[in-house]
Structure 1
Amino acid sequence: MKRLFHLSTTSKQLDLFDKDWEQIKGFIEKNRMDGIEVGLTLDYPLEQIPAGIVEGVHLSFYPMWLDFWRQDQVKLQQLFEDEEAIKSYYGGLEPAVLIESYKKQYRRAKALGAKYMVFHVSHVLPEDSFTWQFDYTDHEVMEATLELVNAVFEAEEDGPMLLFENLWWPGLTYLNPELTQWFIEGVQYKNKGYLVDVSHLTLTNATIGNEKQAYEYIKKVITQLGETKKWIKAVHLNKALPKFYMGRSHHYLLEQYQKAKDKKQQLMILKKHINALDGHVPFDHPLAASILELMDPMYCVYETAPSSRYELAYFIKCQNEALKMMTNKND
């Protein structure tokens, strides 16, 4: 199993290393990691990234994409002020722009020599994230995702593994074994699999308040997958204990969001809400090793949200310590 950490090519993340990839290389070696999973922005120059350190590429995610894909003009008019706003969000007015965007990202992932790519299977509207009332079922989101994915990734292509990641909104959650198997069978691209985000899976159960409860729940869900479990190739390791936040009403936040004076203020409220749910803190409990043993992944990605490179090093140390039992078994 290779251990990676997630790093985006946004200025905020690269500033942790003074935008210096030699520093990033040194950090990887010093912290005894095997490389990075990169959140690759569309216009970042690939030539700046040193060869051999990128194992995975996280593809972009449009949280509210299904109405655009279906060209539901009524809903699009409710979501966006005008056509310019639609262009700004998706890159154009026709669904083909999503296909072209992912084809471009696919080419860039291959150019970097990535071993895998990550694709979110989900759809959510901003207000629905507060109310938990959704317009679409898991099946509808997964069915539309198959349409998009099969239009982007040709069946005969032999590129990096295409790994599908779960969220706690409508789409891939792993809670329905039959649906999970149906989806992976429907992907025409041959080099495919699943990625389990530990926090995202935990967030499908609002009663979880400690690590033991998280482990028992994850064990139950993964065991119920049966043979489908073999498709799990990677894990995003971090921790969420949703009971204390998800157990309260978020209608006051929804009111703040709806009354916000502009889009920027709305975005701040939404980000604060999402970060409270999915804080990307390290899973610093020894049960982290037991969670990984359930799935036996090829890659374990430390996906955390540090404010400095020193905090990132600390987060890596925390999860390395939690996985020490697994390391000793492999020695």
Structure 2
Amino acid sequence: MKQLINYCPVHGYEQEVNAYADGMKGYLKNNKLDGIELYVYQQKPYTSDYREESIGVHLKYWPYWLDFWYGNQKYLNENYSDKKQLQEYYLGAVNQEEWLQIIRNNIKAALAVNPEYLVWHVSNCNLKEIFTFDFFYNDAQVIDASIEVFNAVSECIPDNVIVLFENLWWPGLRLIEPGIVDRFFCGLKKQNVGIMLDTGHLMNTNISLSNELEAVSFICQTVENLGMYKNYIHGMHLSC
């Protein structure tokens, strides 16, 4: 097992890491860590070299994207003040194929550090739904669209790099419905795939949890309920 810390080369993080004599190497050694899970949200590789420390990479994600994917202009107009704001959110993309190319570019930037794994979020939620939990799309709809998107770009991911799909508490891969998990993985074309279990995200699906003991029990039971798919868990994002 490798113990990592998530890392994004922004001012606050870099300031802390560079306080050590050997920079990142010194930071990892001092904190008894094996490496980093690097955030790569841009379309080009970082100018700094993180290949030696990066075990995995967290890809860029868009929390709200399903209306854009299906071209539901009515709902897009309700969520964005104007066309410029919409284009900025999707990094200039105005249609499916342009957005898919942006995703491919992001994957290529991530692969520049030679990671063992990539992390891919599977969910959809707009700003209003974050607060109301009155979701327009259900798990199955988000799953089906996510399969379409992933299969369209998966050819640019080498077979020796595993893609770990991360659970969230919004519609999509929440991990609380084994049938949805099965539906998702059965639809993927790529074989080298698995689950990045985020314990904090999983706890957020159960608002009745009131203490750590209940949370641990809920997480363990949810994993058991996955059946064969519990063996797909190759990494964990730990939260207390």
TM-score by length of 2: 0.93
> Is contact 2:107-2:157 (8 Å) kept?
no
The answer to whether the Cα contact below 8 Å between 1:155 and 1:190 also exists between their aligned partners in 2 is no
Deviation track 1:80-136 (CA, whole Å, cap 9, x = no partner) reads 122111111002211223211221122122221100000110000111111111001
Is the CA contact (8 Å cut-off) linking 2:44 and 2:109 kept in structure 1?
A: no
CA 1:31–1:8 in 2, change beyond 3 Å: closer, same or farther?
Answer: same
SS at match of 2:207: coil
The residue aligned with 1:176 is 177
Whether 1:16 aligns to 2:16 is: yes
Q: CA shift at 1:219, angstroms?
A: 1.4
Q: Which structure features the higher share of helix residues?
A: 1
1:47 CA drift (Å): 4.3
SS in 1 for 2:140: helix
Q: Which residue of 1 aligns with 2:124?
A: 123
1:25 offset after TM fit, Å? Answer: 1.7
CA 1:144–1:19: 2 relative to 1, 3 Å: farther
Match of 2:32 in 1: 32
- Give the Cα separation in 1 of the matches to 2:8 and 2:187: 30
The answer to whether the Cα contact below 8 Å between 1:197 and 1:237 also exists between their aligned partners in 2 is yes
> Is the Cα–Cα contact under 8 Å of residues 45 and 109 in structure 2 kept in the other structure?
no
Query: Is the CA contact (8 Å cut-off) linking 1:141 and 1:171 kept in structure 2?
Result: yes
The residue aligned with 2:149 is: 148
* Unpaired stretches in structure 1, ≥5 consecutive residues: 240-331
Structure 2: gaps (5+ residues): none
Is the Cα–Cα contact under 8 Å of residues 120 and 164 in structure 1 kept in the other structure? yes
Aligned partners of 1:57, 1:43: CA distance in 2, in Å? Answer: 13
Alignment map for 1:180-219 (pairs within 5 Å): 180-219=181-220
CA-based RMSD: 2.0
Contact 2:143 2:172 in 1 (8 A): yes
TM-score by length of 1: 0.68
Give the whole-Å Cα distance in 2 for the aligned partners of 1:159 and 1:204: 32
Q: Is the 8 A contact 1:122 1:172 kept in 2?
A: yes
Match of 1:111 in 2: 112
Deviation of the 1:12 alpha carbon: 3.8
The structure number with the bigger radius of gyration is 1
**8 Å contact from structure 2 (residues 117, 161) kept in 1:** yes
Structure 1 residue 230 displacement after superposition: 0.9
Q: How far is 1:44 from its partner?
A: 6.3
- CA deviation map 1:41-67 (0-9, x unaligned): 316653412432101110111111110
